[in-house]
A and B are shown apart, each in its own frame.
Chain A
Amino acid sequence: MNNQSIEELFKRQAQWQKNRRLLSWAEKIHWVEKVRKTVLELKCKK
């Protein structure tokens, strides 16, 4: 990957992250709840 394509990648990533911030607070909390659930399930499987 050359510098230009890496720069493009970062730009796309920044845009994606910006869009993620547009999620409502409740949507973000549900996202965290799902992550928590998965982590706890994985922990129980051990």
Chain B
Amino acid sequence: MKQIAELLNEMCRAGVITNYALFGATAQIRYTEPVTTLDADLLVSIETEENRLDLLSPVYHFCHEKGYLPEGEAIRVGEWPVQFIPVFSPLTREAMEKAETADFEGVPFRVVQADYLAVIALSVGRAKDFARILALLESGSVQPKQINELAQRHNLSDAWDKFQRRFLNE
């Protein structure tokens, strides 16, 4: 994971990407008990002409130069297959921009905050995403009120109401 942090910081300095933040399960682990996962997900923003189909090609090129090679849809960095995901909505862009800079064994590493992780999970809506929201709530790293506010701002109030009825009604 340290190698990923170093690679991303280097990519930023080189101007390949303009910003990044770790999200998904590896980011969740910062706030909750460990959960198993097979890959690391990264939100990235890349300044390029809009709608380019090969949006990630500068990222792949940079990784290749550093000796990190593709593995399926990911790039293998040390022990981890890394999925680079360009920010794909106002929610993910905001999540990336408001990410916290954490410390991973001495290396700064931008990580999406717990409330944004919960609302991104809400927007995706698979069983494992609901489990993520519950784990974040149980850990106390996010409060229902924060999710409610963020969900409202990103037109996810219905999804949040449904989630509450299904999982939080006591």
Contact = CB atoms under 8 A, between A and B. Distances in A.
Interface string B82-106: 0000000000000000000010110
A17 B26 CA distance: 18
Interface string A22-38: 01011011011101110
B33 A20 contact: yes
A30 B3 CA distance: 13
Nearest to A39: B36
Contacts of A36: 36-38, 79
B79 A25 contact: no
Contact of B29 (A17, A32, A37): A32
A17 B1 contact: no
A8 to B, nearest CB: 21
Given A21-B139, A37-B79, A29 B36 contact: no
Nearest to B32: A21
A30 to B, nearest CB: 8
Nearest to B107: A26
A33 B79 contact: yes
A26 B105 contact: yes
B34 interface: yes
Interface in B87-140: 102, 104-105, 139
10 contacts: A21-B32, A25-B29, A25-B104, A26-B105, A29-B26, A29-B34, A32-B34, A32-B36, A32-B37, A35-B36
Interface of B: 1-2, 26, 29-30, 32-38, 79-80, 102, 104-105, 139
